[in-house]
A and B are shown apart, each in its own frame.
Chain A
């Protein structure tokens, strides 16, 4: 099976279980809502009964924001003008690339870890669903399969986490060396070239590990593996043994993700919603993007599963 066929097959499998997508999206909404409600309360308290509400209704008010930020504590500190439109996603991509995700506020990191563990819990069920099965998605299937594989995937996450940690350490060293080596470079274009090349290398390493561990999970599920060290090795072997197809599939889907982000950048609503329907519409557009991104993430799993299951795949 070619990478392209695997991608289409994967996408078809995702489409075949819309309720799974809906469920996973709902989970992200439910995890996010408590803090969003708290954030709304903080903003409301800050605005109070002030006339400033008009400015924040019609757009963004940098004057108000400066006051809010000066008194902000904890999660409130994360409110920023850059949350408008695609800026929110650029913020997160930057945090991911720099490894600063785990340096955020403890409350956010804690929720992030909880969400990641939930994702780990559902992963067994997700792979089960996309392992060439059909029929209606059942929640019990998600939990039963998830429970069976949860601790194995957590162990895999610890292994991959160690590798990610090494990559981030390497990234810090690499950028430090670039900074050193370019101390006398007077042309920004040259320095930017080094930085972009290094950032791409770091992204490549992170995603390569990610891809290998995706296959490690698939191998764990398909082969009912118990040793996660051997599963991880298997993951890398699967990637390297099918380098063209695995990387083309992974980075092809990754490229599609960038296209998706670019499209959202173009259509993303700005700050100017002044009525309830327009606020709801802007929220739904954002959620639609998140759902599309979620579907793309699931297509990675489903497509890689399809590739793994194909007859020509070197297992």
Chain B
């Protein structure tokens, strides 16, 4: 035991990949994995060697592994309990026997050195549920070590495991001969200065891991096309099976896919000022006509994110177009992501461009800046939603509204085959990109600062994605894009290949903007308060005076009405609980404007003006800086309402629909 300990502490970290290249990350969690896919049995059989270095100032008495696929071992897991609280969960109604999954570690050994047999730790494993104490959750495995790993010490462990592949849950699994394999191997948690940051798998959260080198050998039937994180560096064929070796440094995860159906295309991203990137697209044959749309969106993401935040540091990226109905679409992994489209997807409707930009964008926010998605998912999801919306806006402009038809009754998963594009109805960046509507519904459910895994499962997305995108967009309008871009690029540069926390971003924002924005982050991040400013009332009438007024040193009664002078009174209100400084503007009929910058803290503010012109309207936040304002219609008020025409117009269109509905009822008589 003593001999083992001494060897363990000074074990050199294995750096087999790109040893000559300058490391981008600390590479303290390195994986060498050999795995074989059995497509018939839907199983993976694997062996992995993890070399881990303790970078923290505390010793590690145990190692903690995520066994994510145990989230779908049975219906008592924390993931499935939480997923049932969500209204949009997939595959939750009736999982069948072949749909469940498992991840079973068969052996785990501590390897002190090459050639040394190692110490069997299999009997030292147990499952823990630190978040909810759920005794039936087996997604977090703890392995007690014979000796703690001290600061700067290292450990090397070898695991063998067997996994049953799920019918897709959370974007990982199979459908027919399509396999998308993510979170598929026992994965080490992250040790922080305060201890292991190891959570169970929750329905509303994603992942958190240290950076390292991945050297993965994937054995599949030879007819299968494979795509994975990293670059293929070797290929061997034997007995109808092919083993692909993929390697990648400076990443914190590894995912892969296999299917005999993929068409493979390659293009090179080359834009002045940015390093070139080889783009590999694994496309479903029925989406051949959408090939260029995938490449274009990927290139636009690499270009815009690269210019705004910092260059994409890897020289390759793989785009996966998942199989129909697989549920694997729209997910990010280092150097590798799934887009997602439909057979019919008219141009101008924002799909598959939006999802492609978003998941490619995650290479930056999640892949390169590796925040803790268990606790601060908004740091990547929100930043990326904002960046996606901006990229889509500058690249494609507002998209058109699309409604999808052919949604058969009794088969919820067979839906939306036929799209109808309403090209004269625009969906702008705020609605389609920042997704204000989705946030409005759930605005007050949780404070964003609540750890993500504690968000209410059905509404967490609104706080991680939409709210962050809206407050970043608000900052863009408040500080200006140049300032926000500098803030984000500074944050990106400073925390790439690291694990930033919210405070890190707030500090960068304060530093770069030269302002103390704490008040802003208190409102949008540390509170669940909602924003809603309104113009409550406007009056503008000939000036009247009634009562006593001073004249020649005496109070005398006076009644006076002047038609050349208008007295205007406007009441602006703060209806929401949150505050933000807003501009209030009064526009008069002669074109003159009165502006006031209201700190927005009081519940209301009265504006009184006397002048020669009648008021036309008053508006609070007329340039719409505060995009978190839940109801913008009430932000302005005309002295004379002009809503009759649009109301009648839209009611008349509704009436045509309704008359046709009545005729449809008459079909049954």
Contacts and interface: CB of A to CB of B under 8 A. Distances in A.
Name the 7 nearest CB pairs between A and B, nearest first.
Answer: A172-B410, A112-B665, A40-B651, A186-B323, A56-B646, A88-B657, A184-B176
Interface of A: 28-29, 31-33, 35-37, 39-41, 43-44, 46-54, 56-57, 59-60, 62-64, 66-67, 69-70, 78-79, 81-85, 87-96, 98-101, 108, 111-113, 115-117, 119-120, 123, 153-154, 157, 160-161, 164, 168, 171-173, 175-176, 178-179, 182-189, 191-192, 195-196, 198-199, 210, 270-273, 275-276, 279, 282-283, 286-287, 289-290, 293-294, 297
Nearest to B624: A63
Given A66-B436, A185-B324, A36 B651 contact: yes
Contact of A186 (B325, B342, B648): B325
A32 B655 contact: yes
B646 A90 contact: no
B325 A188 contact: yes
- Most A CB atoms within 10 A — which of B167, B441, B647? B647
Contact of A195 (B417, B645, B652): B417
Contacts of B651: 36-37, 39-40, 43
B437 A70 contact: yes
B649 A96 contact: no
Given A59-B425, A187-B324, A87 B413 contact: no
Nearest to A164: B668
A105 B189 CA distance: 50
B405 to A, nearest CB: 5
A70 B659 contact: no
Interface string B650-666: 11111111111111111
A87 B653 CA distance: 11
B633 A47 contact: yes
- Most A CB atoms within 10 A — which of B639, B647, B664, B669? B669
Contact of A47 (B631, B646, B660): B646
A67 B431 CA distance: 11
A154 B668 CA distance: 10
Nearest to A112: B665
Contact of A101 (B259, B325, B407, B665): B665
A175 B414 CA distance: 8
A53 B658 contact: no
Contacts of B659: 28-29, 32, 290
Contacts of B441: 70
- Most A CB atoms within 10 A — which of B425, B426, B436, B638? B425
A279 B648 contact: yes
- Most A CB atoms within 10 A — which of B176, B414, B441, B646? B646
B638 A186 contact: no
A28 B662 contact: yes
B656 A290 contact: yes
20 contacts: A31-B662, A35-B658, A36-B655, A39-B654, A43-B646, A47-B633, A49-B641, A52-B632, A57-B646, A59-B425, A62-B428, A70-B440, A82-B420, A89-B660, A176-B410, A178-B408, A178-B411, A186-B178, A287-B656, A289-B656
Interface in B223-272: 259, 261
B643 A47 contact: yes
Given A117-B669, A189-B286, A189-B343, A92 B637 contact: no
Interface in B304-329: 323-326
A274 to B, nearest CB: 8
- Most B CB atoms within 10 A — which of A39, A123, A164, A198? A39
Contact of B408 (A79, A120, A195): A195
B538 interface: yes
B635 interface: yes
B663 A293 contact: yes
B395 interface: no
Given A178-B414, A185-B176, A50 B660 contact: no
Given A57-B649, A70-B441, 11 more contacts: A36-B654, A62-B425, A67-B631, A123-B669, A172-B409, A184-B176, A186-B176, A192-B343, A195-B417, A275-B645, A286-B656
A271 B417 CA distance: 25
Nearest to A39: B651
A81 B402 CA distance: 9
A283 B659 CA distance: 12
Contacts of B477: none
Given A178-B414, A199-B408, A50 B669 contact: no
Given A28-B659, A186-B259, A64 B633 contact: yes
A60 B657 CA distance: 16
Nearest to B619: A51
Contacts of B538: 49
B403 interface: yes
